[in-house]
A = this chain, B = another copy of it.
Amino acid sequence: MLPTIAWRGRSVIMIDQRKLPGQEIYVRCRTYIQVAQAIEKMVVRGAPAIGIAAAYGLVLGTLALTAETGRSLDRDFEKVYKRLERTRPTARNLFWALERMRAVYERTRSEGLRVMRAALLDEARAIECEDAETNRAIGQHGQALLGDGWTVLTHCNAGALATAEYGTALGIIRAAVAAGKSIKVFADETRPFLQGARLTVWELDRDGIPVVLITDGMAGWFMRRGEIQAVVVGADRIARNGDTANKIGTYSLAVLAKENGVPFFVAAPMSTIDLTLPDGGGIPIEERNPDEVREVGGRLITVPYVEVRNPAFDVTPAAYITAIVTERGVHRPPYEKNLGGR
């Protein structure tokens, strides 16, 4: 299996996540505009994967730069940067990756295009490699939270496809299985984009990890019936106090988990944490195209002109989160104290 995103000869290759699992198609982006569009259209999605894609997108953008130095180089760089930055507003990792890339640009901009480009490519590769290592660490820390024989509910896809590889929430599940535990996964289908039905089921099936598909409205009922021992999800942005933006539906799961005494775990790299935000109130929530709700797989399911709301994320207050797992370990409340410091 190719990784989710790969740099291959002056282009970025991505598996088209809109087409899975029906078709395994790879898309080649040769320009930063193509990368930006791939992020917007969700060819690639998942907070860490978006960050990696944007980093490589920036490399592609600098390949087309012509001004050698000075203000016109800065202006051209800024244009590429801004285009990639405005693709999706919620995931912290996008901005985090772009900021890392900008620091390298600023360090090398006076050394000529060749040096600068090589340094940027190295940095993008580092972001990708570190993410893979980070996920292994998240998996190791987090797997200790899961008991042998547990059924674990997950929402959306926080797996290999959302990251460089291995995954955050699914990384914890993979590590638990690798540690010899018998784990069964309930996957919410996750309307409207169906990341659960399409991506999480596909990933876990390929790994031979038992997975059961349910619709989003069923999760609470299975918690109530005692069939789920833990919930593990990813994150798109985590505020200093632990409030967590993640795929729409996550907040509901957290409330239902608390009501039923089921532990609720968030798995994310440190790059998802936004220390500039005191709480989740300041996290921008993307509202996407209403046709995502009106249609499934391009086919209309309702009255064509019906009004729709389509927030792609919600914010789960920290009070509902049992622990946040990063590459540094398992963080417990109060998150303000146990998460923020470096």
A binding-site residues for B, Cβ under 8 Å: 21-22, 155, 186, 188-192, 194, 197-198, 201-202, 205, 210-222, 224, 247-249, 251-252, 255-256, 259, 293-294, 296-297, 299-303, 306-311, 314
How far does the alpha carbon of A302 sit from the alpha carbon of B21 in the complex, in Å? Answer: 6
* Pick from B222, B224, B308, B309: contact of A309, CB under 8 Å: B222
Q: Are A216 and B213 in contact, CB atoms less than 8 angstroms apart?
A: no
Q: Report the minimum CB–CB distance from A53 to chain B (whole Å).
A: 24
Number of copies: 2
How far does the alpha carbon of A28 sit from the alpha carbon of B201 in the complex, in Å? Answer: 40
Chain B residue at minimum C-beta to C-beta distance from A186: B309
Q: Are B296 and A212 in contact, CB atoms less than 8 angstroms apart?
A: no
Chain B residue at minimum C-beta to C-beta distance from A227: B309
Q: Which residues of B contact A155 (CB under 8 A)?
A: 217
Chain B residue at minimum C-beta to C-beta distance from A255: B259
Q: Report the minimum CB–CB distance from A235 to chain B (whole Å).
A: 15
How far does the alpha carbon of A156 sit from the alpha carbon of B95 in the complex, in Å? Answer: 39
Q: Are B213 and A294 in contact, CB atoms less than 8 angstroms apart?
A: yes
How far does the alpha carbon of A197 sit from the alpha carbon of B197 in the complex, in Å? Answer: 19
